[in-house]
Amino acid sequence: MDKVVASAGEAVADIPDGATLAVGGFGLCGIPSVLIEALLESGVGDLEAISNNCGVDEWGLGRLLFARRLRRMVSSYVGENKEFARQFLSGELEVELNPQGTLAERMRAGGSGIAAFFTAAGGGTQVAEGGLPWRYHADGSIALASPPKETREFNGREFVLETALVADFGLVRAWKGDRHGNLVYRDSARNFNPLAAMCGRVTIAEVEELVEPGELDPNNVHTPGVFVQRVVALTPEQAADKRIEKVTTRERA
């Protein structure tokens, strides 16, 4: 089955207002920036995004954030985005923070058909006990807080029940992909991308290099095509547009 669509705009055209998106990437590494731009251009809004972070000011998911298209984020780290902090603290954005490994496992569980799991992360803290601010009022008071979670003791240690995450759409970026949707990620871009691809009911992949079926070594495929419904082949210019959160340099010796 040829899953290639003509453009990113066509690939995201049926994403409606209010949809939940699982978005790959870590910082700005491996983010589906072309699909995010297509979403921005489509005008869709009131979105919930499940992603490790929300990009930076004016790039990645930060583009949707600045345009007020996001109503809720499920994340583990948000420290590089000043606008994110402003919207959260002023009550404009709802945020559910997760320990990073817990977020990854919740996404993997969603893609594996596992309803919930127990983890030691967060035991004895507000993660388990509830009360973490999810949304503020404009005056700074808490409008919505996290609920308490079920805990259970195993071998004398407290574990917390975490539920799986399933998104309406998954958006990912791969180094190579074939027309059947099999994907290969390169180096550290293999971060949350496989998990986002798994937990999306409809997963859309932008690929830097499109190859024909049979050209990828099956032993090297990171995301099997069964998890992917649409593939967008990037232009060389789009594939090369990769940004860095913080550039740190020193003079040569």
Q: Is the pLDDT of residue 244 over 90?
A: no
Protein fold of 4-115+164-229? Glutaconate Coenzyme A-transferase (3.40.1080)
Q: Pick the closest to residue 134 from 106, 189, 94 (CA basis).
A: 94
d(CA 135, CA 146): 9
Q: Which single residue is written with the structure tokens 């789009």?
A: 238
Which residue bears the tokens 């870590």? 26
Residue 247 has pLDDT above 90, yes or no: no
pLDDT tens sequence across 83-102: 999 999 999 999 999 999 99
Confidence of residue 31 (pLDDT cuts 50, 70, 90): very high
For CA atoms 177, 3, 9, 108, give the dihedral sign.
negative
pLDDT greater at residue 244 or residue 17: 17
Q: Comparing C-alpha atoms, which of 23, 67, 26, 61 is closest to residue 45?
A: 67
* Cα gap 160→158, rounded to integer Å: 7
> Residue 154 pairs with which residues in a beta bridge?
157
Question: Reduced to 3 states, what is the DSSP secondary structure of residue 134?
Answer: strand
pLDDT, tens digit (0-9, with 9 covering 90-100), for 65-81: 999 999 999 999 987 78
Q: Collapse the DSSP code of 231 into the 3-class scheme (helix H, G, I; strand E, B; otherwise coil) and give the result.
A: strand
**Least confident segment among 31-40, 80-89, 102-111:** 80-89
230 backbone dihedrals φ, ψ, rounded to 5° = -140, 145
pLDDT tens across 160-211, in order? 999 999 999 999 999 999 999 999 999 999 999 999 999 999 999 999 999 9
> What predicted TM-score, i.e. pTM, was given to this entire model?
0.94
Contact 80, 51 (CB under 8 A): no
The Cα–Cα gap between 19 and 224 comes to 24
In the chain, domain spans: 4-115+164-229, 116-163
